[in-house]
Amino acid sequence: MWQLYQFPLCPFSRKVRLLLGEKGVGYELVREHPWERRDEFLDMNPAGQTPVVVDTQRGGQPLIDSLAICEYFEETVDKAAMINGTAANRAEVRRLVAWFDNHFYRDVTGLLLHERVVKRVAHRAAPDAKGLRDAMKNAVGHLDYTDYLLDHRNWLAGATMSLADFAAAAQISVADYLGGIDWKGHEQTARWYRGLKSRPSFRPLLAERMEMVGPPPAHYDNVDF
């Protein structure tokens, strides 16, 4: 049995979960708050970050780093290839995965998680209004870019759905939960996102709540929004 160490608003874990869902790989969730820096978790992953995937039956080294985890399942499970096409197509998928994992996270999701989750839960401190405003402003720039990509393509990396779409939807959904996305003026991205929201791989993620953070906006899990 695969176990996935994560918390509901970890965007990197969401990317892995979307891939596993599309591939039909079953797994059990284990709740982990990386900011607690639990000794047993650090022994497993010296980087101290979620997600981590372990095979409880066969043992072996844990799988660490969300992209390394996705590449592993892409190599070992044929169903629903998501890093697909020519070498150039695959390079474009990986470029965009890196873009959302690094830049969207740094500019938007990471800021929101810091202000609205880590500060509250770990430090019992209030979010800083400037941090939240910066994240929302940065999100507009990022959705302008996804609008631009989707003007030319059906899916973010090209003609077919790929890991790039999951990387983007993972970051956007966490930002949306935390009130960081203003959908007005981003019709291309909204249409693409509605398509993803209605997939069986995405529905269970959207149904989860993270109690200590407060509820998401009303439109968050509405597939018609």
Closest CA to 200 of 74, 16, 28, 21: 21
Cα 14 from Cα 173, distance rounded (Å):
9
159 binding its own copies? (CB under 8 A): no
Q: How many residues in the shown chain lie near its own copies by CB under 8 A?
A: 26
Residue 169 identity: A
Residue 76 binding: pick among ligand GSH, its own copies, none (C-beta 5-8 Å cut-off by kind) = its own copies
Q: Which is nearer to its own copies, 144 or 208 (CB)?
A: 144
102 binding ligand GSH? (CB under 6 A): yes
How many residues appear in the chain?
A: 225
57 binding its own copies? (CB under 8 A): no
Q: Which is nearer to its own copies, 83 or 206 (CB)?
A: 83
**Angstrom distances, CA of residue 10 to CA of 27, 118, 153, 163, 198:** 16, 12, 28, 16, 20
**Least distance (Å) between residue 109 CB and its own copies:** 16
115 binding ligand GSH? (CB under 6 A): no
Site map 50..69 versus ligand GSH, x via CB under 6 A: xx-------------xxx--
Cα 132 from Cα 160, distance rounded (Å):
34
Closest CA to 95 of 52, 149, 50, 140: 149
**Least distance (Å) between residue 41 CB and its own copies:** 15
| DSSP secondary structure letters along 84-152 | -SSHHHHHHHHHHHHIIIIIIIIIIIHHHHIIIIIHHHHH--PPPHHHHHHHHHHHHHHHHHHHHHHHH
Of 186-205, binders to ligand GSH (CB under 6 A) are: none
Please pick, from the candidates 92, 101, 107, 115, the single residue that binds ligand GSH as defined by CB under 6 A.
101
47 binding its own copies? (CB under 8 A): yes
Site map 58..87 versus its own copies, x via CB under 8 A: --xx-xxx-xxx-xx--xx----------x
Of 111-150, binders to its own copies (CB under 8 A) are: 145
Type and span of the H or E element at 2:
strand 2-6
DSSP state of 158: B
Interacting residue ranges for its own copies, rule: CB under 8 A: 46-47, 60-61, 63-65, 67-69, 71-72, 75-76, 87-88, 90-92, 94-95, 98-99, 102-103, 145
Interacting residue ranges for ligand GSH, rule: CB under 6 A: 10-12, 34, 48-51, 65-67, 98, 101-102
